[in-house]
Amino acid sequence: MRPGRYATNMVLALVSRDWAGLAIALPLAAGGGWCTALGGAWPVPGGLLLGVAALLAAGSLRHLVHVARAGASNPPPGRMVDVGGYRMHLLAEGESATRPAVVWMPGGHAAGQAMHHLHTMLREHTRSILVDRPGSGWSDAGPFPRTTATEAAELLTALERAGEEGPFVFVGHSFGGLLVANAARRRPDLVAGLVLLDPTPPDVITYGPPNPALRQSGPRLFLRSAVRKLFGIHPGTEAESPPAAGARTRADCAAASIFRELTPAGMAGAGWQTMVYDGDLGDLPLLLVAPRDLTGGEQLLDLAADPEEAARVRRFYLTTRERFLSTSTMARRIHTPEGTGHGFPDEVPGFVAETVLTLLSELESNRPAPSS
């Protein structure tokens, strides 16, 4: 590992600990006290260091109180499972009977709770499982760097150590779709089927045109957010009750780490371990569920220099998302309702639930529909 990346991982590992603010403030206070004790010209810089240390310590204590309140108000609803020296949170409800259990994976680096509305719809029909990736939700921070390949392996380990019985149907949205496809490639014996909800094609990251959404997910933005929280600067107001679970720094640090991979340079280095190529999934039943157009993505077309470039951008995005169909001989395409965009799991949750239930019924009767 290059020295620069090693240093970055060390910083993220430190900042992901909510007590790190005090660990940073204490050496500054010690240095200020030492300068003050020297006398002569040193008391002035010593006083400045003591002042800075006091501000940082006060902010850090405020953050720790905020985190303690959040923990007391929002205890984990599921189980904490050890995956090798750190824990992941799983919420599993419902009974699978003759159907496979469903495992949900939201987009970005969101906690499993982001798909709780879909979880509640499915738990009446089969076992439904929400998983918090390390750093998100109630899970521990885990080791750095965060990578898609690592998180796919952690997901499978957590399910097995929690005693959940596969094979599973994995349902992933956006970056979550890329992750569960990676997990299926690694352990096809644990996967009964995949439902990919507008999954992120690595080509979009590596070769795509400038995308404001990806810029807003930049690693530096997440790291700055983590540092602000570490010293007591939280989003929202003091009146929030209970404090948001996102007050913890580890969520931002984990996102900052994994989004380093989701850049052209990062994907170039991690592509072989991250991507799922043509034929990698054999004959695994796979549903690719996505809009038929770029509804909600019009800003990408607005950035084009002329109509010809806009047409090329549209063609690029509509074509690259279809590449997941070539990963399995049993893949088929399902279009989302007209007028829906990339966020359709929130826009039409009933449609998503019915799509998953359809695949479950096919698997239950051992009659997967032919590919199309």
What CATH number does the domain containing 92 carry? Answer: 3.40.50.1820
Do 303 and 248 share a domain, yes or no? no
pLDDT in 10s for each residue of the chain, 372 residues: 566 678 889 999 999 999 999 999 999 999 888 888 877 677 888 889 999 999 999 999 999 999 998 888 889 999 999 999 999 999 999 998 889 999 999 999 999 999 999 999 999 999 999 999 999 999 999 999 999 999 999 999 999 999 999 899 999 999 999 999 999 999 999 999 999 999 998 888 888 887 776 666 678 889 999 999 999 988 653 433 333 456 789 999 999 999 888 888 888 888 899 999 999 999 999 999 999 988 877 777 777 778 888 888 888 888 998 999 999 999 999 999 999 999 999 999 999 999 999 999 999 887 555 554
Sheet holding 286-290, edge to edge: 79-82, 87-93, 128-132, 102-105, 168-173, 191-197, 286-290, 331-335
Do 90 and 209 share a domain, yes or no? yes
Residue 370 lies in a domain: no
Do 226 and 303 share a domain, yes or no? no
Domains in the chain, number: 2
Who's near 215: CB < 8 A, 6+ residues apart?
none
Residues of the domain holding 289: 79-215+262-364
Rounded Cα distance between 333 and 326, Å, is 11
Residue with tokens 């806009």: 310
Q: Rg (Cα) of the chain, in Å, rounded?
A: 23
Do 112 and 226 share a domain, yes or no? no
Q: Tally Cβ neighbours within 10 Å of residue 290.
A: 22
Residue 61 lies in a domain: yes
Q: Please name which of 230, 249, 247, 43 lies closest in space to residue 141, comparing C-alpha atoms.
A: 249
Residue 283 lies in a domain: yes
Final residue of a structural domain among 253, 280, 311: 253
Do 146 and 227 share a domain, yes or no? no
Residue 86 lies in a domain: yes
Do 145 and 62 share a domain, yes or no? no
Who's near 67: CB < 8 A, 6+ residues apart?
18, 243, 247, 248
Do 239 and 122 share a domain, yes or no? no
Q: Tally Cβ neighbours within 10 Å of residue 372.
A: 8
Do 180 and 318 share a domain, yes or no? yes
Residue 93 lies in a domain: yes
In Å, how far are 5, 76, 227, 229, 317 from 59, measured between CA atoms?
A: 28, 26, 11, 9, 44
To the question of pTM greater than 0.85 for the whole model, the response is yes
Q: Are 349 and 337 in contact (CB under 8 A)?
A: no
Tokens standing for residue 212: 């404001």
Q: Are 114 and 106 in contact (CB under 8 A)?
A: yes
Do 162 and 129 share a domain, yes or no? yes
Final residue of a structural domain among 253, 276, 304: 253
Residue 369 lies in a domain: no
Residue 372 lies in a domain: no
Do 61 and 88 share a domain, yes or no? no
Query: So what's the pLDDT on residue 369?
Result: 56
Do 296 and 184 share a domain, yes or no? yes
Do 231 and 302 share a domain, yes or no? no
Q: Give me the count of residues in the chain.
A: 372
